[in-house]
Amino acid sequence: MMVGIVVVSHSPALAEAAVNLALAMTVGQSPRIEIAAGAVDDVIGTDALRIVDAIKKVSSSKGVLVIMDLGSAIMSSEMALEFIDDKALDVRLSKGPFVEGLLAAVVRAVGGGSLDEVEYEAANALLAKVSQLSATSEIIINEQSSDSKTSLKPEISSQAILVNAIGLHARPAAMIVGAIADCHAQVQIASDFSKAVPANSPTALLGLAAKCGQTLYIQAAGPDAKKAVDLIINLVNDGFGEHDESPLPSLKSYNPTTGVIGVSPGRVVGPVLQLLHPISEPDVQVVLELSDRKAAVQHLMLAVAQVADWFKLQSARLEGSAREIMQATSVITTDPALIKVACEAIINCGLTPERAIWEATEDIVAEFSVQGGLLSERITDMYDIRNRIIRLLTVQDAPDNLISNEPYILVASDLAPADTVMLNPRDCLAIVTEKGGPTSHSAILARSLGIPAITGVTEVTAIVDGTIVLVDGATGEFIISPNDEQKGSVSFIAPISLFHGPGRTSDGYQVQILANIGSVADVPDAITLGAEGVGLFRTEFCFLDREDEPSIAEQVKAYRAVFKCFSGRKVVIRTLDAGSDKPLPFLPIRNEANPALGIRGYRTSWHSPEILCNQLMAIAQAAAAEHAEVWVMAPMIATVEEAQEFVQKTRVAGLTIAGVMIETPAAAIMADHLFEQVDFVSIGTNDLAQYTLAADRMSSDLAVLNDPWQPSLMRMIELVCRGASDLKKPVGVCGEAASDPYLAIVLVGLGVTALSMSARSISAVGQLLASLSLEDCRRAAQAALNSDSAQAARLVVRESLSSVIK
């Protein structure tokens, strides 16, 4: 039995010739192949009913691949699928090219390939041609960019797939602009769904709204065209250096009743200080004399340059993401597209420079609002740039009310990144805003500064300065004028005080508090902030940029570097978790309609078993060379057989402690059997929530469902703990749930024996745990399990613990 192939063409002659060519490759073997070519009366065209007949003729349990030529062939084939009654029959329409795809599909089908494999071969049948021609620097014409508004006759073009998790957001856009700034070339970039835009305009690049997995088409002309294209391709392939960043800052919590979102953890009480935004709309009535317009343009250019320099200056004194965000903002300030529109408005319509930049910004903001998502969160950045330029032009001072000697809780309608980086975490206890989201630059900066923050608080600007409020950036709680009892509940979570383990409850029950790391670079924070060891070493983060498999020696080096820092302590190392939101170029995964449900995690070893074996060997060698207590685990396990197989592989490699991650409901439900195979498990609550609630964890629209407080998730975890208790095997949690102090208490109450989290959460979790008894934790867990919603669970746990916190 082999996969059936249906060939759909406008022309019977073309279809027959293509089939004959394909058959010549199969050396005598007969594929199941049918032609559905020509319309009724054999005129040129296609006919859905002929396609249905052909599909039926070649159908079998192995499925059918339909290969089409163009235009109506695709529509007719789609229509044909509607007419197939046998819903169990797997029929797929190939995205592959007609001739090459057919050849590849036939050869793979005759070789006994599955429908997945045949489809994959057909879809990628042009790769050989493309790479051969690219190697000789020929031009690959991108149809989408050829109809660009700005006409560019490309001398060279190329394409690359966005591999960084957040895609072409502000920082990558700024990096592209910066990289080609010195090239003498006209460069344009298009994406899968957008026309080409100039590559020197960060706002235009942002407007592409290109996401991870989409292709960027780059074309250039001019003396440095090749250099410019190469620079961009390198940046894209390198994921813009965003290897060790978590895919998206996780939404900490969302309160559906109030709409408040916690975006940076920490619980504090303090007086409100409103951020002033003294900028009024420039007068639209003023029209400049013709003779004054040139000078007005110069004023605008000067102000723009000064503001860009100011952002650059800020970036120089900062580090990490704060530095990068300020650099990107500086590049966006001098965006030629923005300036051009403003200058034209001055010259052609006589607008004042302040009015011109006001209107030019509004145009871009309107586009960002339409695109929504991450782009809408860049609106605050655009307004901040505009306001700073206008303040310079109209000689207004920046608001200086943030220079305060008393601690305060900053309250604002929204907060620009530049305002946020000016905050001193010693004085600014928390940030409360009406607008913004978990992925806004301000939220990212607040997290990096360790300032608790919440957003989505309505009518926040009406709160009078000095009013005492309670803010909890982990739970999204916001209380105006909290009572004494509520105020008392904050004392145990100082924003970033140090924790000195080991983790234990007030009555001495030990729960390991461990750190999640992506490479040795994360180790210093983990150790300083009190981690007892590592509960999740995401090894894929060491190699996200690699085109080829890292050698065993390279891997040993990377793993030893971490093991060395934890002599005598536990390091749970996870084998490569590739696929879905973390593609690894050297572990290619075919195009999948649902990557999160596809070949990812442990499943990649189905096709590339040698990569897993090499990694296990490298881990074993690194472990033997150092003195850490090395535990190894596999991600994305769904069946007991997989667990058994993985453990066998680890034993062959010479590793002694082997476990699996529980990230699928299937694994949670089968936990009792899994425990018979493994030495331990670690629950990945991020994925377990995604699969339990059937909600893509990358979608901010579904964040409410991916809330780790969902009682369904807790019931899954309870199942796992119950499975562990008979055999007394360790159960860790290494997903985001472990970094929420109250939820961590619930996890301990459910029976979790180790909590692993980002280093910054260790102190809050460790301190709350130390203030409660095991019985308190169990009571909290029971209360959460009995809740019927995430929000109810939060409230009931908070209530059950408020009276007992020591």
| Residue 685 engages ligand PEP in binding (rule: CB under 6 A) | yes
Interface with ligand PEP in residues 721-750 (CB under 6 A): 734-735
Interface residue with ligand PEP, options 90, 335, 549, 577 (CB under 6 A): 577
Closest CA to 772 of 798, 739, 736: 798
Distance in Å, CB of 538 to Mg ion, minimum: 9
Residue number with CB closer to ligand PEP (419 or 663):
663
Q: Is 734 designated active site?
A: yes
Instruction: Classify strands 156-161 and 215-221 as parallel, antiparallel or unpaired.
Output: antiparallel
Measured CA distances, 209 to 168, 176, 199, 216, 436 (Å): 7, 15, 14, 11, 18
Angle at 720 between CA 717 and CA 722, to 5 degrees: 110
Partnered with residue 733 across adjacent β-strands are 683, 755
242 binds, among Mg ion, ligand PEP, none (CB under 5 to 8 A by kind): none
Stretch that binds ligand PEP, among 13-21, 99-107, 650-658, 678-686 (CB under 6 A): 678-686
Residue number, 270 or 684, with CB nearest to Mg ion: 684
Is residue 613 part of the annotated active site? The answer reads no
- Distances, alpha carbon 417 to alpha carbons 327, 423, 440, in Å: 11, 10, 8
Buried/exposed 672-694: b ≥16 CB within 10 Å, e otherwise: bebbebbbbbbbbbbbbbbbbbe
Scanning 65-169, the segments in alpha helix (DSSP H) are: 72-83, 98-110, 115-123, 127-135, 143-146
Which one from 183, 428, 441, 721 is the annotated catalytic residue?
A: 441
The values of phi and psi at residue 429, to 5°, are -75, -30
If one asks whether residue 518 binds ligand PEP (CB under 6 A), the answer comes out as: no
Footprint of ligand PEP on 687-706 (CB under 6 A): 687
Angle in degrees, 0-180, between the axes of helices 320-333 and 379-393, rounded to the nearest 10 = 60
Q: How many residues does the chain have?
A: 806
Select the residue interacting with ligand PEP from 101, 282, 518, 684 (CB under 6 A): 684
Pairing status of strand 260-264 against strand 453-455: antiparallel
Between 622 and 661, name the residue whose CB sits nearer to ligand PEP.
Answer: 661
* CB nearer ligand PEP, residue 6 or residue 251: 251
Nearest to 192 by CA among 237, 162, 226: 162
From the CB of 648, what's the least distance to Mg ion, in Å?
23
Cβ(234)–Cβ(216) below 8 Å: no
Interface of this chain with ligand PEP, residues 593 to 622, rule: CB under 6 A: none
Q: Which of these segments, 61-69, 109-117, 236-244, 661-669, binds Mg ion (CB under 5 A)?
A: 661-669
Least distance between ligand PEP and beta carbon 611 (Å): 18
Q: Which two tokens stand for residue 522?
A: 């994360």
For residues 668 to 707, the per-residue mask of contacts with Mg ion, x marking binding by CB under 5 A and - elsewhere, is ----------------x--x--------------------
Number of Cβ within 10 Å of residue 287's Cβ equals: 13
Q: How far apart (Å, rounded) are the C-alpha atoms in residues 795 and 709?
A: 11
Q: What is the DSSP string of 700-744?
A: GGGTTTT-TT-HHHHHHHHHHHHHHHHHT--EEE-SGGGGSHHHH
Q: Judged by CB under 5 A, which stretch of 383-391, 449-457, 646-654, 657-665 contacts Mg ion?
A: 657-665
Q: Residue 166 and residue 621: Cα distance in Å, rounded?
A: 35
Beta strands 512-517 and 477-480: pairing type? unpaired
Q: Is the Cβ of residue 687 or residue 776 nearer to Mg ion in the bound state? A: 687
Site string for ligand PEP, 535-574 (x = CB under 6 A): -x-x------------------------------------
- Does 663 participate in binding ligand PEP (rule CB under 6 A)? yes
User: 119: which 2 tokens?
Assistant: 């489809």
Using CB under 6 A as the binding rule, whether residue 216 contacts ligand PEP is answered as no
Q: How far is the CB of 687 from ligand PEP (least distance, A)?
A: 3
Q: Does 686 bind ligand PEP (CB under 6 A)?
A: yes
Q: Which is nearer to Mg ion, 154 or 684 (CB)?
A: 684
CB of 617 to ligand PEP, least distance (A): 23
Using CB under 6 A as the binding rule, the residues of this chain from 376 to 395 that contact ligand PEP are none
Selecting among 183, 343, 428, 734, the annotated active-site residue is 734
Q: Report what 685 binds from ligand PEP, Mg ion, none; CB cut-off 5-8 Å by kind.
A: ligand PEP
Q: Which residues bind ligand PEP (CB under 6 A)?
A: 536, 538, 577, 663, 684-687, 734-735
Active site residues: 441, 734
Q: Which residues bind Mg ion (CB under 5 A)?
A: 663, 684, 687
